Structures are given as C-alpha cells and as structure tokens.
Structure 1
Amino acid sequence: MAIKILVVEDDELLNNSIVKILRSRQYIAFSALNISEGKILYEKEKPDIVLLDIMLPDGKGYELLPLLTVKAKVIIMTAITDRDSKYLCYEHGAEDYLIKNFDMQELLYRIEVIKRNINQDELKIGDIFIDIKNQRMLCNGKSVDLPHSQIELLKSLYKKHKENTYLSKDEVLPLGKGEVDESARVQNMITRIRKNLRYIKSENVLIETIYNKGYKLVVLK
C-alpha cells in the first residue's frame, strides 16, 4: 500500500522541497501552508503520516494534534527547541520531533521507521487483505470482521507459508482460548476461517489439513 503523507508547513520553499523528495520516493504527498488547509486535506485525503510545523500563520500546529493523531502518525518539524514544547507535542500524540534545519535524509529515515510500524497493521495474502488494526478481512469488495484469535492464526499460518512449512496443532492451540474443549479448539478455529474465506469469495487462499500434524496455508497461482 502506498503511504500518504501530508506536509503542513508555511515555508513554501521548504514545503515544496519536502513534497518533491517524498514523491520521488514513491510516497503520495500533499501540501498545506496553514492549519485551515491542513484540516481540509486531512479530512479529504486521510494521510497515514503528517509532517507538521508548529508556528503557522493561523495558529499553533500542535492545536491540530488531537485531530490528526486519531488516525495518522505525526512528525513535528520546528525551529522551537525548548523541552516544554517538545513534551507538549509528545503528550498530544506526536510520534517524533525534528528540529530545523534538519537533514532531508534524516527526515526520510524517520518516515521510514514510522512506515514500517504502519505496515505491521496490514497483511496481503493472495487475493485477500487483512486489516490487523481494525480486525477485518477483505476481498472482492466484501469484508468480514475477525476476532483477535483468527487474526493471530492467519498471521501464524502466513509466517509458516513463507517458510514453506505447516503450522502444527500444538502451535495453534494457544491461539484458540475460549473454546469448549482442547480437542475441538483447533478444528473450530480453522472451520471459522475457512467459512470467512468462502464468505468474501477468495479465489486463491486455502487452508490445507496435514493429517495428524497441522495446517498449511496455500496460495494458488
């Protein structure tokens, strides 16, 4: 998934430079020069990351933090170096605090760190997409909510798939807490996931039973 980044910075030259570099690195970047524009673009584009200046023409950038940090990761970019400002931003949910004049390579590195964390919230397996954060599986325009145990089982199956092996029954058992008894636990979880895969009409993701051993995720070509 392409990462969307909103740059809220009133220095137009710096703003344009950052946006240009981000786009050259295959990020989808948007530019705002003040808080008002930032709010509009945030609501419209729903960015994953926001690069936010503090001193803006129509207010202080940290006033936006309660809105932005609901769904986006925020990196503060500012010339303000005092600890109180830094602590205030962190208390309101900022992920990072970068002092101007920063090196562009350092900015890209910090974005990359956040990007890795964002990508841990999603998983693409064959024709299905798993939204780990919102506990949902999607395919062909259909979606189904999944309990935490099924999300964890799919993650474990996918890890074994990449290792070209299967997930043993003993490895599945701890993921299925709450079932009636130990013997039914594994089969119940696998049955539910298979049912959900059929519901969203996945065409190339299967769970194969390895007799007396465990289960293997199969992604058809």
Structure 2
Amino acid sequence: MSYKILLVDDEPALRHMVRDILLAEQYIVFTAATCVEGAAVAAAEQPDAVLLDVMLPDGDGFSLFQRLRQERDVPVLFLSARDEDEARLRGLGLGADDYITKPFLPKELCLRLAAVLRRVYGQKQTASLTLGRRTVDWGTGTVSGGAQPVSLTAKEYALLHKLWCNRGNIVTIDALCAALWEGTLVGYENTLMVHIRRLREKIEDDPSHPRYLLTVRGLGYRLAPEGTS
C-alpha cells in the first residue's frame, strides 16, 4: 500500500524538498504551511502519518499535535531547527513518535519515517502474500507452493516487498533501484532486470509469461492487484 503523509511546514523550499523525497519513495504527500491548513488537510485526507514543524506562523506544532491527537491516534514526527533538549523532550513527552532536527539527510528522514510506519501499522499488515498457488511468507522470506519451498535473497525480498507495498500501481525503475541500492543509481537497470527475472522464477508458474510481476514498458514494474488469479 502507499501511505498518505501530511507535511506541515512554513518553509516553501523545505516543503518542496521533502515532498519530492517522499514522492520518490512512493508515498502520497499532502502539504500545509500553517496550523489551520494542517488541521483542515488532516481532517479531509486522514493521513497515515504527519511530519510537523514546531514553529508555524499561526501557532506552534505542539498545539496542532494535540489537536490532531484529539481527532485520532495518527503517528507524528516533529521536524524542527530547534535542537534544544527542552523542545525535543516536550515533543516526545506529548507522545510524538519521533523528533528530527533540521537539517537532516533525506535517507535519515525516510528511514525514520519508515520505522514509525512499520511500528504503528506493521501488525495490521498481512504476514503473507498469495500469488496464485504460491505463498510468500514475509517472516521467513520463503516461497511455497511450487515443487519445493525456495528462499528469497535479500535483494529479491526487498524488491518484492516494495512492489507489494504498492500493489496494483506502477513502481518506477528508479524507485525500485533506490529501494535496493544507495548512492548513484546509474547503471543498475540491467542488474534490476536480472533480479526481476530470478524473482519471477520463484513466484510465477511460467516466468516467461508472468501473471503477477508485470512489466510496464518504459516506466517500471507492477505487482498485479489483489484478487488476480
């Protein structure tokens, strides 16, 4: 699935930067610049997590945090240039899920957001994936239903999980490469194709004519939606 993230920050440059980072990770992103806008967007869109600046033009993030939590128990990560212990402890003491000090590395933001989402929603996700006669056990990283159970490699596991989290939607080649490798991604497309081929050999009845892990030419790949048989 694609998680919906609300970013509330009054700095246009930071909003655009963080939005682009999260979109590249296949999140659905909403933005707001004030407490009033943030509360309205949260009520309308029901985000799965909120990235919230402490200092806002019409109030502070702590007050908006309390307002959001009165509505529902949405996970919140504070973003702030204020690294004083008092502010950090206040945010965490109110029940925030994390507190990230600006400036931060894009990878750090993604990792910490993903960790919060796993912690909050992980138990709600299915422990397995069914693809026709085959079943992928996420806990053990094995595929059963063929002649004999087979194990996924670390890269195959990460690749399939990325597609599963966005099941039914196209995941671009760049997004898949970013999920598998860090740093400059130039030159990884052919290696990605090798991993795709080997993964199909484990999850498809006929890897040469896949029914579940589908190629979208010129864009990337897509895992067939739930209910496909």
The two structures have a TM-score, normalised by structure 2, of 0.54
Aligned partners of 1:59 and 1:116: how far apart in 2?
30
Cα deviations by residue, 1:26-47 (Å, 9 ceiling, x for unpaired): 0000010010000001001111
Aligned partners of 1:29 and 1:89: how far apart in 2?
23
Aligned partners of 1:61 and 1:53: how far apart in 2?
6
Cα deviations by residue, 1:1-52 (Å, 9 ceiling, x for unpaired): 2111000000011001101111111000001001000000100111111110
SS in 2 for 1:97: strand
Aligned partners of 2:143 and 2:24: how far apart in 1?
34
Q: Does 1:78 align with 2:80?
A: yes
RMSD of equivalent CA atoms:
2.9
Show structure 2 runs of 5+ residues with no match. 131-137, 146-226
Cα deviations by residue, 1:41-91 (Å, 9 ceiling, x for unpaired): 100111111110011000011101223343211111101121111111112
Q: Between Structure 1 and Structure 2, whose CA radius of gyration is higher?
A: 1
- Structure 2 residue aligned with 1:123: 125
Structure 1 contact 8–33 (Cα < 8 Å) conserved: yes
Structure 1 contact 48–71 (Cα < 8 Å) conserved: no
* Higher RCO (C-alpha under 8 Å, 6+ residues apart): 2
Specify the code of the residue in structure 2 equivalent to 1:63.
S
Distance 1:48 1:220, change over 3 A: closer
Aligned residues: 139
CA displacement at 1:116 relative to structure 2: 1.5
The two structures have a TM-score, normalised by structure 1, of 0.56
Specify the code of the residue in structure 1 equivalent to 2:39.
K
Q: Does 1:37 align with 2:37?
A: yes
Q: Does 1:12 align with 2:43?
A: no
Aligned partners of 1:8 and 1:104: how far apart in 2?
17
SS in 1 for 2:26: coil
Aligned partners of 1:108 and 1:67: how far apart in 2?
25
Distance 1:163 1:65, change over 3 A: same
Specify the code of the residue in structure 2 equivalent to 1:110.
R
Structure 1 contact 10–56 (Cα < 8 Å) conserved: yes
CA displacement at 1:119 relative to structure 2: 3.4
Pairing 1:54-73 to 2, within 5 Å after superposition: 54-69=54-69, 70-73=72-75
Distance 1:103 1:123, change over 3 A: closer
